[in-house]
Amino acid sequence: MRKVRLAVLLWCMGAGTGSGMAQAKQASLSEIAGLNQALREATEHMDNAATLALWAEDGVSLLPSTKPLVGKAAIAKFMDEVMGGLKGARMESFALDCFDTVVSGDLGSEWCTEHQVVELGGGKPVFDGRGKMLLVLRKGGDGQWRIVREMWNQAE
């Protein structure tokens, strides 16, 4: 009888731990969905500061035909240079859809598709672009998820 009680107690402890882990994972998925929404809004408003707030200090961006952008300062410089060439541009529409979010402790990953239509102004043709991204995320000591790795390429 004693063995049965011990087995039941251990099973209940395990079930409780599993339930707690499931709740923590669900909370992380919800937080990452919030990060995705913040990224969507920052991009829609072409707001570099809001976008950079979503990056870890040691983040790395891997874009086509460019050297890796290592660190938040390098990412900020690149974004400022790009936006400097887009004076008067206005985002007409932006869509970001992320899939297959996986969480393991304080790390997460997902892949996303994006579609943006930007009115460039000055008689330039409208930019209508699509891309695919792979994001690696990390939850910081402050409880916030941030982008630590991004790989982007053009989609059809």
- pTM to 2 decimal places: 0.83
- Give pLDDT tens digits along the chain (156 positions): 555 453 443 444 444 445 666 787 888 999 999 999 999 999 999 999 999 999 999 999 999 999 999 999 999 999 999 888 888 899 999 999 999 999 999 999 999 999 999 999 888 899 999 999 999 999 999 999 999 999 999 987
Phi, psi torsion values for 44, nearest 5 degrees: -55, -40
Task: State the CB neighbour count (10 A cutoff) for residue 117.
Answer: 14
Alpha helices in the chain (DSSP H): 2-44, 48-52, 72-84
Confidence (pLDDT) at 90:
92
Q: What is the pLDDT of residue 15?
A: 46
d(CA 24, CA 46): 33
pLDDT at 8: 41
Question: pLDDT at position 150, please?
Answer: 98
Q: How far apart, in whole angstroms, are the C-alpha atoms of residue 122 and residue 77?
A: 24
CB 10 within 8 A of CB 18: no
